[in-house]
Structure 1
Amino acid sequence: MDNSTSWLPRVQLLMQQNRPALAVDELRRQLTRDPHEPVAHTLLALCLLDLDQPTEAQQEAELAIHLAPEYDLAFYALALAQHRQHRSKEALAAVNQALALDPTDADYYHLLGSLRLESNQWQAALQATSTGLTFDAEHAGLHSLRARALARQGRGAEAAQAAHEALGYGAESSGVQAQAGWVALETNRSHEALGHFQEALRLNPESEYARAGLVEALKARYWIYRTFMRFMYWTNSLSAGLRQGLFLGAWVVARFVRPLLPLYLAFAYFSWFSDVLFESLLRFNRYGRYALSEAQRRHSNHFLLLLGVAAVAGGAALALPTVAGLPSLCFVALGLLFPLVGTERLGHQPTQQARSRWAGWALAACGVLSVVLKLAGIGGGFTNLLFMAFLLGTLAYTWIFALR
């Protein structure tokens, strides 16, 4: 064997055996001998992704592209790294370049379909999977992705069939089992979904995707959450314009048909707080408490703390009506629930999450300062202005978040 490529079979074997750390060591040794080897840089990027180091993986992929601008796998590795860092636009550009260089690779279509699915472009995701399957009809990931796209379009029977086909090709894959779980969940088969997620976690106990699905399946045991979830899946099958029109129309109708206003308000609050509310309930479930991540438990603690402050302040305001500031404290605690939950939901969009966090801190500053001044007996125009700024700011936050 040519000494210049003698390292490649060893690296490929380590990658097939799911031993990325050892593969990284081998690749780094090779790159000390030949730092201009694009294949080594590309494989190193893929191994670093397996080790959850997307920033370093991106650097290696970009270096490989610099060394070999026509190397399609390097663009695919770059797309994966960008995707892992929630940079959908950059990932889409990279995978499209990979497909331009090699339009027959099913894995590239799988990533393209995943990006389309995450952007709520169901038909585009379906088209990507269909094209990919023409090149590899037994690609389990593409069948799984096709099932998800069909489920999001409300085509439950076809989605179930596609998920069954995916399991026929990749039942021992944690990702395929998790995708089957999500398809079952989105087509109102929560008990079946639970089994798929449990199997996915058995195959890969570290799968965050399967763990998140398990939490959703456990929450779906509550009929009210299950009903709401079905409605949300239906609205997600609509275009962005139709969704906005639906919610704006419901608000207008509720404004003019007074008996519907309490129902609309209940729906609005539930759409904001259903996830964290039922995740908090899962903490009292013997299985659910272990399924929740540390971040979810921390988020639940913050939610319950604010809810508790609101309840205590509201009760104290009723018992001690002469104490100024208690009603305001109740409203501030309830109002801060919106940026708390909104910021948590934006975890996959770091830039928007940072903006949401700053908006939340600004609202908290206005609200808390107005309460402190009222409790200190310092009323007047400035205090009222602060409280009004908090109320209007919270209202603006909810509308901006809902219509983004």
Structure 2
Amino acid sequence: MSSDSFYDSALARGLLLKEQGRYAEAENYFRRALSVDPENGEALNLLAGCQLQQGQSGDALVTITDAIAREPNESDYHALQAVILSVLDRPRDATAAAMRGLALQPTSLYALNALTQTYLSQKQWARAEESSRRALALDADDALAANFLALSLRMQNKWDENEEQIRGLLSRNPEDAFTHSNAGWAALTRGDSKAAEAHFRESLRLDPDNDSARDGLLQSFKGRSWLYRRYLDYCFFMEKFSGRAQIAMVVGLMIAVNLLSSVLTGPYKVLGALVLLAYLAYVFFSHVAHVVGNIFLLTDRFARYVLTAAEKREAAAVGLALALGTALTISAFVLPGSVLTVTTATATPALEELAPTLGSTIRGYLASEAVKSEAGTGGLVLLAGVLLAGCAIPLCHVFTNNSRIGTGAFTAIAGAAVLSAVLCLSAALLHAPAISFVLPLAITSLIILVLSTWLTNVSALRR
């Protein structure tokens, strides 16, 4: 067999396997084709597509970049590069790649859909709507563009147009997994959990590997709880805003809490304390709610099977931390000895040095309510309970985190909190609360736990 015949045969076999979703086998045949013609851009492009489908996004980017270097005027190569860059959370580079593809071929549906995907990843809903409509103007039956349009309409609260778009998609192709997933999220956002469950189940029947549908089914199960439903409403509200806007809103809320706490003094001091406690409860619940929901799903004989092994381990770890932390916190108020010994003589300077960036309210609260080294057994037990409950926040980003750096960082934070809690309990049980290093270590761990709530917003640490 000639080299050309071998190349054509390997490429044809790889294409057939790729269409069947057998990406690992297809990759093998594309590599065989490349062994004959290493410079062939088409084979490199197909290989990159297989790598992307197998979760090898980094390798896929290297491969498609190589293909573009060989054949820079192929629009589809730039479009695939845009899709890969979107998966790698590089939206600006992805947009530039999609634009290059469109410049080479303005009527390319692939490049237009890739551009829409980059806009969606950046939460630029109006631009996503515009580019998806451009794609549909070229091909009114393009299901991907139509689904992208439905998604962008939902994010802009254009519910009538969204429902019309979903109905049209389902009538044209009732066997499309992406459409059912899209319809499920729309129903869940509206508060119709039963309809959402039906669409997500159908999507998973059509495509068992559809992660969006699986996550949606989990959320619809958890949404049966009134409290979790309120959390979902909050998430749906926040997801419509860009990352910068979300941070601005969170910072604004923190500033408002600081102002209220500083104003509510004297006879209103109790009210000020309640405002601060409500804010802290909001912050804590917003970070652990999704895992707490999984804890309840473990008790459902059907829903537990939707959880992955990693999600089950995560729920068990967080549940144990919350249970032990809550039990210790409650027991601290019934144990002999003072729960908190208030002083500023020994603790204030250290706390001012350790927490210069926590904000005046939290810093002042820690400084004025610090537990000194001579605190009683109850105070140490209370501190241990707070540390164990607080370590639930970093634990929520350990087992299901695809970022190695993030997993390591949050594991270290949780480990430090657990170690500090154990030392506090040991000092309490041994009636030796005056151990010099226990209190500074515990307070430092507590401050790091507070700071970890901001680390969860760093995309490089949480994937």
TM-score normalised by the shorter chain: which range applies?
0.7 to 0.9
Query: How many angstroms does 1:275 deviate by?
Result: 0.7
**Contact preservation (8 Å) 1:140, 1:167:** no
For the aligned residue pairs, the C-alpha RMSD in angstroms reads: 3.1
Cross-structure match for 2:43: 40
Asked whether 1:171 is paired with 2:171, we answer no
Cross-structure match for 1:268: 283
| 1:345-364 equivalence runs, <5 A | 347=401, 351-352=405-406, 354-364=408-418
**Contact preservation (8 Å) 1:75, 1:97:** yes
1: CA distance, partners of 2:95 / 2:413: 30
Query: How many angstroms does 1:205 deviate by?
Result: 1.3
Cross-structure match for 2:340: none
2: CA distance, partners of 1:121 / 1:279: 31
The amino acid across from 1:304 in the alignment is G
Asked whether 1:283 is paired with 2:286, we answer no
Which has the larger displacement, 128-137 or 376-385?
376-385
**Contact preservation (8 Å) 2:257, 2:275:** no
Normalising by structure 1, we get a TM-score of 0.86
1:330 to 349, 360, 385: 385
| 1:44-123 equivalence runs, <5 A | 44-123=47-126
Cross-structure match for 1:226: 229
Q: Mark the runs of 5 or more structure 1 residues left unpaired by the alignment.
A: none
Residues 323-350 of structure 1, C-alpha deviation per residue, up to 9 Å, x if partnerless?
46322221210121222225568x3665
Asked whether 1:148 is paired with 2:203, we answer no
**Contact preservation (8 Å) 1:152, 1:186:** no
Asked whether 1:247 is paired with 2:253, we answer yes
The amino acid across from 2:253 in the alignment is F
Cross-structure match for 1:26: 29
2: CA distance, partners of 1:127 / 1:372: 62
Question: How many residues end up aligned between the 2 structures?
Answer: 402
2:439 to 373, 384, 403: 384
Residues 112-132 of structure 1, C-alpha deviation per residue, up to 9 Å, x if partnerless?
323332333322322332232
**Contact preservation (8 Å) 1:250, 1:264:** no
2:451 to 374, 380, 396: 396
Cross-structure match for 2:394: 339
Query: How many angstroms does 1:29 deviate by?
Result: 2.6
Q: 1:273 to 1:7 in 2, by over 3 A?
A: closer
Residues 261-303 of structure 1, C-alpha deviation per residue, up to 9 Å, x if partnerless?
5544443332122111111101111221011111211110110
Which has the larger displacement, 363-372 or 142-151?
363-372
2: CA distance, partners of 1:358 / 1:154: 41
Q: Which has the higher helix share?
A: 1
1: CA distance, partners of 2:455 / 2:232: 22
2: CA distance, partners of 1:212 / 1:161: 24
Larger Rg: 2
1:237 to 194, 217, 240: 240
The amino acid across from 1:395 in the alignment is V
The amino acid across from 1:57 in the alignment is A
Cross-structure match for 1:211: 214
The amino acid across from 2:246 in the alignment is A
Q: 1:125 to 1:349 in 2, by over 3 A?
A: farther
2: CA distance, partners of 1:44 / 1:111: 18
Percent of aligned pairs with the same amino acid: 26
**Contact preservation (8 Å) 2:74, 2:104:** yes
Normalising by structure 2, we get a TM-score of 0.76
Cross-structure match for 1:200: 203
Which has the larger displacement, 255-264 or 107-116?
255-264
Q: Mark the runs of 5 or more structure 2 residues left unpaired by the alignment.
A: 265-270, 338-376
Q: 1:383 to 1:362 in 2, by over 3 A?
A: closer
Q: 1:99 to 1:331 in 2, by over 3 A?
A: same
Query: How many angstroms does 1:216 deviate by?
Result: 0.8
2: CA distance, partners of 1:50 / 1:402: 27
Cross-structure match for 2:341: none
Which has the larger displacement, 102-111 or 196-205?
102-111
1: CA distance, partners of 2:424 / 2:96: 48
**Contact preservation (8 Å) 1:86, 1:349:** no
1: CA distance, partners of 2:173 / 2:51: 24
The amino acid across from 2:325 in the alignment is A
Q: 1:157 to 1:32 in 2, by over 3 A?
A: same
Cross-structure match for 2:345: none
